[in-house]
Structure 1
């Protein structure tokens, strides 16, 4: 119902407008409190890159973080990641991820990034504490924060906003009448606007697309071409499940059934056993899969999603980050002499 109000030109949002005005006033007061130094902004010698969005979830932000980590690692830089760890309930924060960390502790997205990249990752509701924990433990050249555009207590050097090219900003209102955390004026203050898909691209935005790899068996790690799987039941517990199902259809896959769960859904083996027979294949997102490794069945698979950005755009995006890291290294070197 709420997504209908936000993205389907429904006038029901009028009912929620008073709450949206309150949300907007509150967030503006918080933002100005940091801007005028009424509240402290914490800055670090290591460069901070924020990959965030203006709307609630489902824009492709985490795949962009994965892409950026990969590009910086390949250039030889030491990369760390911080996140809030939404959905996780650790006994204490900040939490540094390791091989024994579960999604129940850190949330699904940080665990996905850690399993895919192996970079140092810390989660905490206060991202400043997560950055401190990383820098106390690892020598890093740059730290990427997955989300946190509105977490103004953390100083940052580069900001990227990821936009859903299909849904854009819905009705344009703050939560809860609309999907906006901040209004679109914020687009003018960031270093890059990356739009998911080739639709509705504005002149100051760059486009990214999704590519898929082989389907990977959750139980044993076997890889198969997606088209080789038969009798597929697709499931997705993400912010915007239709995107996953759309990707499958574009690859020529017509699932027997499409099953949706709420974002950050906690799974149990019995829940998913009910979705498929032994002859059918359960295909899910990588974000869902990180919560299922401890109890997976042999007919459960996940599909990794990667970001593709043209080479000329890639160079344009990375240039300010690489320059910031270089400047930081030179400053650090001078301070030793």
Structure 2
């Protein structure tokens, strides 16, 4: 187990030994608050885009479900005729940045999540650490009504008109400590400043979502095959919160799987897909965009690799809130379009 995985496991278990990181957490918090004050006082300048910006993010490290939520919102808004663009940091991508992401973009260059977002929606997208340059690149190519920023909740250099904060109740807030003693990027009080979307199977808040898995598909076959959930699998994942994927598999009736975890945004190598027997691999769509280039480089790989797609399912109140918020920004959606 790597050091990063050891710490993540300790976060999930709220291990008491994490207190050794408290001085670093104080330092992190102090630096964050200083940076925030510098933007508030104008010592650092924030960029305001010529079109409204909506940020979808979280206050925790690791997966919260924000990418499936973003994909769902993009598809929904596009279906209503809205011209939407997306920007992202492009974490894990090698650039050069800013980079325009199209259907031919490789995850190695632009990042796995941007590649997945564009493949799932066809949305105009640009990535790079400088969000202003990404927005300018997008607007030079497309007239847009709204720009959605993937993550970036803590990126104070970009002004935004809307913030949706995804709170995964499967993980909660852990010990509610700031990095690295806990997995909070910001204090819990940050939840009071945005629209919080509760990610939970049995939600309490009217603003909630959950993920539903669809029928798995083969990544490396051109022929249609029937998926058998009762066979044994290697569950190969490199995501922020792999336990959610394992729970998804169990809910699908898949109980025989051996876990092989890698760090979030992991760059797969051929050896990661090789095992002593011929059991198939099962993985996420986010991982699939990183694995597919390997399959193209090594077309002789015979092992089946199944991919589990997931869709975000939103409560009716989420759509009503979205319509109200966009209307306040001068963006009117068709009447009767709330699901």
Q: Which residue of the other structure, out of 109, 114, 118, is the alignment partner of 2:118?
A: 114
Distance 2:196 2:255 in 1: 33
Distance 2:125 2:222 in 1: 23
Question: C-alpha displacement at 1:322, in angstroms?
Answer: 4.3
Unaligned 5+ runs, structure 1: 328-337
Instruction: Please name the residue that 1:156 is paired with.
Output: 160
Instruction: Please name the residue that 1:208 is paired with.
Output: 209
1:58 pairs with 2:57? no
Q: Is the 8 A contact 1:218 1:293 kept in 2?
A: yes
Matches within 5 A, 1:178-257: 178-190=182-194, 192-198=195-201, 201=203, 203=205, 206-220=207-221, 226-227=227-228, 230-257=231-258
Question: C-alpha displacement at 1:189, in angstroms?
Answer: 0.9
Count matched residues: 321
Quick check: 129-138 or 146-155, which moved more? 129-138
Question: C-alpha displacement at 1:4, in angstroms?
Answer: 3.8
Question: C-alpha displacement at 1:276, in angstroms?
Answer: 5.2
Distance 2:10 2:255 in 1: 29
Q: Is the 8 A contact 2:61 2:184 kept in 1?
A: yes
Matches within 5 A, 1:26-65: 26-65=31-70
Instruction: Please name the residue that 2:326 is paired with.
Output: 321
Q: Is the 8 A contact 2:207 2:318 kept in 1?
A: yes
Instruction: Report the aligned-residue RMSD.
Output: 2.0
* SS at structure 2 position matched to 1:211: strand
Distance 1:185 1:324 in 2: 25
Question: C-alpha displacement at 1:290, in angstroms?
Answer: 0.3
Question: C-alpha displacement at 1:2, in angstroms?
Answer: 1.2
Question: C-alpha displacement at 1:284, in angstroms?
Answer: 0.6
Unaligned 5+ runs, structure 2: 1-5, 296-300, 333-339
Instruction: Please name the residue that 1:18 is paired with.
Output: 23
- TM-score normalised over the length of structure 1: 0.89
Distance 1:78 1:99 in 2: 18
Quick check: 311-320 or 23-32, which moved more? 311-320
- TM-score normalised over the length of structure 2: 0.89
Q: Aligned in 2, Cα 1:230/1:8: closer, same or farther, shift over 3 Å?
A: closer
Q: Is the 8 A contact 1:210 1:308 kept in 2?
A: yes
Q: Aligned in 2, Cα 1:17/1:228: closer, same or farther, shift over 3 Å?
A: closer
Instruction: Please name the residue that 1:167 is paired with.
Output: 171
Residue-by-residue CA offset, 1:195-247 (whole Å, 9 max, x unaligned): 21145x555x6221111112122124666665567433222110111110110
1:289 pairs with 2:283? no
